[in-house]
Amino acid sequence: MTKNLNIYVATMTGTALMVADEIEEFCKNNDLNTKIHEMDVLEPESLLNVKSPIIIISSTYGQGDVPDGSKNFYNNLKSSNIKLEHIKYAVFGLGDMTYRDTFAYGGKKFDHLFTELNANRIGEPYYHDASDGSLPEEEAVNWFRDKIFRFLYADNEVK
Ligand SMILES: Cc1cc2nc3c(=O)[nH]c(=O)nc-3n(C[C@H](O)[C@H](O)[C@H](O)COP(=O)(O)O)c2cc1C
For ligand 1, atom 8, name the residue with the nearest CA.
64
Identify the pLDDT of residue 154: 74
Give the phi and the psi of residue 158 in degrees, each rounded to 5: -75, 130
Which parts of the chain fold into alpha helices (H)? 15-28, 71-78, 105-116, 136-143, 150-152
Q: Which fold has domain 4-152?
A: Rossmann fold (3.40.50)
Helix (H, G, I), strand (E, B) or coil at 128: strand
Question: Which of 12, 38, 60 for mutating ligand 1's site (highest number of atoms within 8 Å of CB)?
Answer: 60
Average pLDDT, integer, range 13-36: 97
At position 117, the amino acid (one-letter code) is L
Contact 7, 23 (CB under 8 A): yes
Give the residues surrounding ligand 1 with Cβ less than 6 Å away: 11-16, 59-61, 63-64, 67, 94-96, 99, 102-105, 130
Tens digits of per-residue pLDDT, 79-118? 998 999 999 999 999 999 999 999 999 999 999 999 999 9
Identify the pLDDT of residue 1: 54
For ligand 1, atom 3, name the residue with the nearest CA.
61
Distance in angstroms (rounded) separating the CA atoms of residues 115 and 18:
26
Tens digits of per-residue pLDDT, 36-52? 999 999 999 999 999 99
Average pLDDT, integer, range 128-150: 97
Contact 40, 11 (CB under 8 A): no
For ligand 1, atom 22, name the residue with the nearest CA.
59
Per-domain boundaries in the chain: 4-152
What CA–CA distances, in Å, run from 4 to 1, 132, 144, 149? 10, 33, 14, 11
